[in-house]
Structure 1
Amino acid sequence: MRCLVWLMMVWFAICPARPAGAGAWMRDEGTGFLSTGAILRQGDPQAARELSLYGDYGLSPRLTLGVDVNQRPGVSGHALLFARLPLSAPEARSKFALETALGGHHWMGDWSPMYRVTFSAGRGFTTRKGAHGWIALDASYERRLGDTDPAYKLDGTIGLSGPARLRPILQIETAYSPGQPVFWTVTPGLLIEGGHNRTWHLGLERKSASRDTLGLKLGLWLRF
C-alpha cells in the first residue's frame, strides 16, 4: 500500500494535466456513463462469478449522481446510490472529489443497510511519445451494518486515453478490516475501442482473499 501511494504521488508531481473521465472527474452536465462487467474465476467456488453494473450522470457541473451494483450470485453483493461533489476548481491540474453512497448489502440473501464515503484524487498525463492518459486514487471508508468492523479501501487506476484503438489499463484494489489481513486485487487489462461511444474492457485478475484466485474480466463501457 505504501508503494502504491508513493507511485501515485510521483505521478501527480510530474504529469501535465489532460482531460479524463474517471475517479475524481465530474461527469459533464447532461452526459452519462454506463459500464457492465463480469468476472469468471477459478480457485474459490464462492467467488466463481461476479457481476457488476455502474453508471453515473452529470446532473450539474457540481453534482454527479450514480449507481453501483455488484453481485456474486447466491453469495453476496451490494447496491448503492451515490453523489459526487468536486473539491477542486474545474481548471485545476489535479482533480479532487468527495463521494457519498447509500444502499444495502447482502450475505446469502440476508440484506442490511450500508454506506460508503470516498475521497478521490486524479490527474491526467502525457507520455514521452505524446499519448494521453490518467491516473486516479480512491480512498474509501465503508460501513456495512451487521458487520462488526468497517472496511478501509485504497484503489488505484492508471490508463491511457485518446484515439488509439487498443489502450492498456492497470487497476489495483486493496481492502482492510481490523483484525483481518489486507486483501488485494491486481488487474492488468486492455481497453478496446468499439465505435459509437463503446469501449470493451478485457482484463486478467489476480485476487487475494480467503483463497487466491485467478479470473478473466470482461466489460463494456458506454458513453452517452
Structure 2
Amino acid sequence: MWDVICRLLCAISVIFGLASGADAGAWMRDPKAGFLSFSSEIDLDGNSYTGIYSEYGLNARNTLGFELGYTNVGETSMMIWLQRRLGSGEGPNQWTYSTGFGAFLREGQLFPTGQIGINWGRGFEHVLGGGWMSVEARLKIAGKQEQVVYLQGKTLTEAEFLTPEITTKIDATLGLRPTDSLMFINQLRLEDRSDVDFSARLASSLVYDFGAPAKLELGLIAPISGAGEVAVKIGTWIEF
C-alpha cells in the first residue's frame, strides 16, 4: 500500500516540480523582516518531532536563524546560525552559505553541535504561475555520545528523530505557486548518518495563505530508500 502512495507522491512531484522551483532557503530575509514557523512530524510508529524555526534579516547580506526542537523519544535540541549571501545577489542564481552552533539535551546530558551549509536557488515564471528551485547541502557534527538505547517495543525508526554524531544532508526542493494563496512544495531529502544507513525521502506539502500573516502547511513524507516510516507533517508560517 505504501509503495503505491510513494509512487503517487513521486508522480505528483514530477507534475508540479517540473513546472516549478524550490526551497526559498537561498533567498535572504529583507533587513528587519522576520519569519517564524511551528511544525510537527509524526510517523506510523508514533515517533514525532516538533519544532520552532525562525529567521530574521540583519541586513542585505546576512540572515540570522534559530531552531528549537523536541522529540517524543527523549531529546531537546537548539541551533542558531548565520546565513550570508555570496556575491551581489543580482541575477537569477542565488548562493548563500551558513555556519551554526547549538546543543541538544538527551537523558540529562548536554552535547554540543555545529553545522556548515551551502545553498543555491533560482526562481522563474511559467504558464501555471511562479516557481522556484533550490539545493542545500549541509554537514552537522555533534559531540561524542553513547550508543542510543531504544525503548522497549520501539524500532530503529526512532533514530530518525535523534541527533547522530555526524549527519550529511542534501535537500533538493521544487515549488510551484499557481496562485497568490496556494503553494505546492516538493522536496527530495537525502541523508547519510553515522548511526543508520543512507536514506532518501520525498516530502510533499500544500501551503495555503489565509490572507493574514499566517499560512497553513499540510504534508506527507514518504521513504524511498533506507529505514523509516511514512510521516505526516502539519505546520504554520508567520511572516512579519
TM-score calculated relative to the size of structure 1 = 0.82
Inter-partner Cα distance in structure 2 for 1:32 and 1:162: 24
Report whether the alignment pairs 1:157 with 2:159.
no
Inter-partner Cα distance in structure 2 for 1:184 and 1:69: 24
Contact 2:83 2:97 in 1 (8 A): yes
Shift of 1:15: 9.3
Q: Secondary structure at the match of 2:210?
A: strand
Inter-partner Cα distance in structure 1 for 2:139 and 2:213: 33
TM-score calculated relative to the size of structure 2 = 0.76
Post-superposition CA distance 1:183-207 (Å, at most 9, x none): 2332111011111122111001124
Report whether the alignment pairs 1:83 with 2:108.
no
**Alignment partner, residue 25 of structure 2:** 23
Shift of 1:138: 0.7
Q: Secondary structure at the match of 1:61?
A: coil
Report whether the alignment pairs 1:194 with 2:210.
yes
Inter-partner Cα distance in structure 1 for 2:180 and 2:98: 31
Q: In the superposition, relative to structure 1, how do residues 77 and 158 fare at CA in structure 2: closer, same or farther (>3 Å)?
A: farther
Amino acid in structure 2 at the alignment position of 1:133: G
Contact 2:144 2:165 in 1 (8 A): no
**Alignment partner, residue 50 of structure 1:** 49
**Alignment partner, residue 144 of structure 1:** 142
The Cα RMSD (Å) is: 2.7
**Alignment partner, residue 160 of structure 2:** none
**Alignment partner, residue 96 of structure 2:** 97
2:234 to 215, 218, 221: 218
**Alignment partner, residue 110 of structure 2:** 111
Inter-partner Cα distance in structure 2 for 1:132 and 1:141: 31
User: Which contiguous aligned blocks of 4+ residues in structure 1 show a shift greater than 3 angstroms?
Assistant: 106-109, 161-164, 177-180, 207-211
Aligned residues with identical type, % of pairs: 24
Equivalence map 1:123-142=2 (5 Å): 123-127=122-126, 129-142=127-140
Amino acid in structure 1 at the alignment position of 2:93: S
Inter-partner Cα distance in structure 2 for 1:208 and 1:186: 7
Q: In the superposition, relative to structure 1, how do residues 215 and 149 fare at CA in structure 2: closer, same or farther (>3 Å)?
A: closer
Inter-partner Cα distance in structure 2 for 1:70 and 1:178: 20
Amino acid in structure 1 at the alignment position of 2:142: R
Amino acid in structure 2 at the alignment position of 1:155: D
Q: In the superposition, relative to structure 1, how do residues 107 and 217 fare at CA in structure 2: closer, same or farther (>3 Å)?
A: same
In the alignment, structure 1 segments of 5+ residues that lack a partner are 1-10
Shift of 1:90: 2.1
**Alignment partner, residue 40 of structure 2:** 38
Amino acid in structure 1 at the alignment position of 2:175: G
Aligned residue pair count = 206
In the alignment, structure 2 segments of 5+ residues that lack a partner are 1-16, 146-163
Contact 1:21 1:27 in 2 (8 A): no
Contact 1:207 1:213 in 2 (8 A): yes
Q: Secondary structure at the match of 1:213?
A: coil
Q: In the superposition, relative to structure 1, how do residues 53 and 95 fare at CA in structure 2: closer, same or farther (>3 Å)?
A: same
**Alignment partner, residue 10 of structure 2:** none
Inter-partner Cα distance in structure 2 for 1:136 and 1:60: 22
**Alignment partner, residue 6 of structure 1:** none
Shift of 1:164: 3.5
Post-superposition CA distance 1:157-208 (Å, at most 9, x none): 1112364333211122221135842123321110111111221110011247
Inter-partner Cα distance in structure 2 for 1:41 and 1:75: 16
Q: In the superposition, relative to structure 1, how do residues 162 and 35 fare at CA in structure 2: closer, same or farther (>3 Å)?
A: farther
User: Which stretch shifts more, 49-58 or 146-155?
Assistant: 146-155
Contact 2:103 2:110 in 1 (8 A): yes
Q: In the superposition, relative to structure 1, how do residues 142 and 213 fare at CA in structure 2: closer, same or farther (>3 Å)?
A: same
